[in-house]
Amino acid sequence: MSATIIDGAHVADTILADAREQAAEFERKAGRRACLATVLVGDDPASHTYVRMKTNRCRTTGLDSRSHHVAATATTTDVTTLVDELSGDDSVDGILVQHPMPAQIDEREVFEAITPTKDVDGVTMASFAAMALGGRGFQACTPAGIIHLLDAYGVDPTGLHSVVVGRSPILGKPVGMLLLARNATVTYCHARTSDLPGIIAAADIVVAAVGRPELIKGAWIKPGAVVIDAGYNPGNIGDVEYAPAAERASLITPVPGGVGPTTIAVLLHQTVTAAVQSAGVPTTGV
């Protein structure tokens, strides 16, 4: 068996095409563009690159982007004060706080300073509760992007054993909640899980979200399983041992080019949705 490679860029283009259409309609009706504000703390090169990618994608999708760079020596209060200001700015529709942040910053306190109506990255506790309970709110972007990938390739999680390797509050935990909402049977695994190979071997869907290069070996993958690798490590290496896993899986995401593109696409689409909801200017499809 040789897996079909999931084309994340193609799925992202579909999401962005809809966002672009809605953004243009919003601009015509509201007289301004939807606006995403980004907050970057420190000088991490990867974070700078990621924010630059988002800024460029905003431009090509018809959104305004405002970048705020805070010194690496900033305090939690410095960052939360900025986020509070953006939360109260009516010209800002969505707020993205790039993470990870420097060690002295309390990330959770910063995230909670984002008003939920502008939490287009889905990082607040209010957003997590909405994902877990099926309420109104924005979804964490990478988990939502993963669901888009499954939908695009006709994977119905109903009744399938889905194993999530990783339990971060912005990836592992919420993707499990979204899969559970689609009637999957979800197992969470982490650093203290016993017999990880055996659990993965029984999985119909594997979501790797632990941030450890090639932790999940190809030989562990159940023949015909769907493998979603949300890990990204130096050297363009994912959390899954790609080549041998691709020999056993039915569908697999590459790294890069799988999950990443849909993450950004969901972020921009949710920014347009936030603008529409805030301004009360309905557009087709949002």
- Here the CATH number for the domain that contains residue 57 is 3.40.50.10860
Do 194 and 109 reside in the same domain of the chain?
no
Distance CA 9, CA 15 (A): 10
Do 196 and 91 reside in the same domain of the chain?
no
Q: Name the pLDDT band for 285 (thresholds 50, 70, 90).
A: low
Do 167 and 104 reside in the same domain of the chain?
no
Question: Residue 50: what pLDDT?
Answer: 85
Do 188 and 101 reside in the same domain of the chain?
no
> Would 279 be classed as within a structural domain?
no
> Would 79 be classed as within a structural domain?
yes
> Would 15 be classed as within a structural domain?
no
* Residue whose structure tokens are 């194993």: 163
Tokens of 55: 């800024």
Asked if pLDDT for residue 56 goes beyond 80, the answer is yes
Do 178 and 248 reside in the same domain of the chain?
yes
Do 153 and 101 reside in the same domain of the chain?
no
> Would 239 be classed as within a structural domain?
yes
Contact between residue 93 and residue 34 where contact means Cβ atoms under 8 Å apart: yes
Do 166 and 111 reside in the same domain of the chain?
no
Question: Residue 1: what pLDDT?
Answer: 66
Question: Residue 195: what pLDDT?
Answer: 97
Do 183 and 247 reside in the same domain of the chain?
yes
Question: Residue 224: what pLDDT?
Answer: 98
Number of domains in the chain: 2
> Would 133 be classed as within a structural domain?
no
Given the DSSP bridges, would you call strands 94-97 and 226-229 parallel, antiparallel or unpaired?
unpaired
Q: Domain of 34? A: 30-115
Do 171 and 212 reside in the same domain of the chain?
yes
Average pLDDT over the chain, rounded to an integer: 96
Do 101 and 145 reside in the same domain of the chain?
no
> Would 131 be classed as within a structural domain?
no
Q: Name the pLDDT band for 171 (thresholds 50, 70, 90).
A: very high
Domain boundary among 115, 133, 154: 115
> Would 238 be classed as within a structural domain?
yes
> Would 242 be classed as within a structural domain?
yes
Q: What HEC string does the chain produce? A: CCCEECCHHHHHHHHHHHHHHHHHHHHHHHCCCCEEEEEEECCCHHHHHHHHHHHHHHHHHCCEEEEEEECCCCCHHHHHHHHHHHHCCCCCCEEEECCCCCCCCCHHHHHHCCCHHHCCCCCCHHHHHHHHHCCCCCCCHHHHHHHHHHHHCCCCCCCCEEEEECCCCCCHHHHHHHHHHCCCEEEEECCCCCCHHHHHHCCCEEEECCCCCCCECHHHCCCCCEEEECCCECCCECCECHHHHHCCCCEECCCCCCHHHHHHHHHHHHHHHHHHHHHCCCCCCC
* Residue whose structure tokens are 């309905």: 282
Closest CA to 240 of 225, 227, 223, 251: 227
Count the alpha carbons within 13 Å of 95 in the hemisphere toward its beta carbon.
Answer: 28
| pLDDT tens column, 118-169 | 999 999 999 999 999 999 999 999 999 999 999 999 999 999 999 999 999 9
- Report, as residue numbers or ranges, the catalytic residues: 54, 98, 121
Do 154 and 202 reside in the same domain of the chain?
yes
Contact between residue 2 and residue 151 where contact means Cβ atoms under 8 Å apart: no
| pLDDT tens column, 194-253 | 999 999 999 999 999 999 999 999 999 999 999 999 998 999 999 999 999 999 999 999
* pTM for the full predicted model: 0.95
Do 174 and 77 reside in the same domain of the chain?
no
Q: What are the phi and psi torsion angles at 103 (to 5°)?
A: -60, -30
Domain of 256, CATH number, reads 3.40.50.720
